[in-house]
Amino acid sequence: MSSTLSAEHRLKHWAAFASVSVAVGLMLLKLIASIYSGSLAVLSSLVDSISDIFASLITYVAIRFSSLPASPNHRYGYGKVEALSALVQAAFIAGSGMFVIYEGINRLVHPRPLSDTGLGILVMGISLTATLLLIGFQNYVIKKTDSMALKADRMHYVVDLLTNGEIILSLIVVEIFNINWFDTVSALFISGYLLYNAWQMTRSAIEQLLDRELPFEIRESVINIIKNCRFCHGMHDLRTRNLGGSYIFEFHLELDGTLSLYEAHELTEIVEREVKHLYPGSQVIIHQDPAGLEEERLDNSLKD
């Protein structure tokens, strides 16, 4: 199990390193294109790339910190650091959006013609291709690790992918039809999308920090393990949470009340192994109850 987890951490480290490298390279390209073309849309993408560098660095640090083993004072580990990093990234995205909105309004009041849109189109095309390759790698790593920090970082680049396409379109429109205001309107649209994604990212991070239950499909898969277990008489009070790619499952398992403590423990170990096989790296906490025992249950209080 430890080798599997270390492999996942290595994947997350490489994905974070790739994000930083791509962000730095694209920032330099967009800086050149922004200076020579004067495009506000390219400038907006440049600002977003600068925020991507800081956000990706935060992701890299968060992933390294979250991979630390549990300690006496943090016995659940440090996985939620990834959710905290997602909140910081959301702040960067929101700040980028607000800056470009300010520049867009200023450009509408004080118009400035664009120059050398061809260079802007070339640079944004390169940016589009590099971003697409990075997202493909991030998707692969996220499927393997379910990293909250990488999901937040990927959102940066998904936004970049869409906005880069929008910027290329605006530059083409300016080049062919000489409609300079289209560039400003495009930048304002990008800013609105940045703010929307910042809100989505913030909500997801807060839900994880507040221990929102795992999706229905995951909970149902655990319940089905118990339903298909020949010696299990039922379960109740299932609670789940995400510690940053590592799941925690807590529930009461109903067993034959005549079993010895040793026998009940052995059967519970079987169920625990089944859950961990389905979700590697998860933590499973099971309390054994005699079947038919009348007691106060969390499930009943939540229905009230």
Extents of the domains making up the chain: 2-209, 216-303
Query: What pLDDT does residue 16 have?
Result: 83
Per residue in 7-28, pLDDT (tens digit) is: 777 788 888 888 888 888 888 8
Query: How far apart (Å, rounded) are the C-alpha atoms in residues 105 and 97?
Result: 12
Query: What pLDDT does residue 196 have?
Result: 86
Nearest Cα to Cα of residue 37 among 183, 242, 240, 201: 183
Nearest Cα to Cα of residue 197 among 205, 209, 186: 205
The DSSP call for residue 241 is: E
Query: What pLDDT does residue 208 have?
Result: 87
What would the CATH number be for the domain defined by 2-209? 1.20.1510.10
Q: Which amino acid is at 294?
A: E
When the pLDDT of each residue in the chain is averaged and rounded to a whole number, the result is 81
pTM above 0.75, yes or no: no
Q: Does the pLDDT of residue 291 top 80, yes or no?
A: yes
**Residue 111 CB-density burial (10 A; 0-12 exposed, 13-18 middle, 19+ buried):** exposed
Query: How far apart (Å, rounded) are the C-alpha atoms in residues 144 and 2?
Result: 15
- Percent helix, strand, coil in the chain (nearest 5)? 70, 10, 20
**Per-residue DSSP letters for 101-151?**
HHHHHHHHHS------HHHHHHHHHHHHHHHHHHHHHHHHHHHHH--HHHH
Per residue in 180-217, pLDDT (tens digit) is: 677 677 777 778 877 888 888 889 889 988 999 999 99
Q: Which helix (H) or strand (E) holds 288?
A: strand 283-290
Which tokens is 286 given? 């099971």
Q: Does the pLDDT of residue 300 top 70, yes or no?
A: yes
Check if 2-209 and 216-303 are the same fold.
no
Rg from Cα positions in the chain:
25
Query: What pLDDT does residue 109 have?
Result: 73
Per residue in 73-101, pLDDT (tens digit) is: 888 888 888 888 888 878 877 887 787 78
Q: Which of the residue ranges 44-58, 131-145, 226-240, 279-293 would you say has the lowest mean pLDDT?
A: 44-58
Decide if 201 contacts 90 (C-beta within 8 A): yes
Q: Which amino acid is at 176?
A: I
Calculated CA dihedral for residues 109, 165, 156, 193, nearest 10 degrees: 50
What would the CATH number be for the domain defined by 216-303? 3.30.70.1350
Decide if 147 contacts 12 (C-beta within 8 A): yes
Query: How far apart (Å, rounded) are the C-alpha atoms in residues 69 and 190?
Result: 40
Of 252 and 91, the structure prediction assigns the larger pLDDT to: 252
Burial 193-210 (b: 16+ CB within 10 A, else e): bbbebbeebbebbeebee
- Give residue for tokens 């994905």: 15
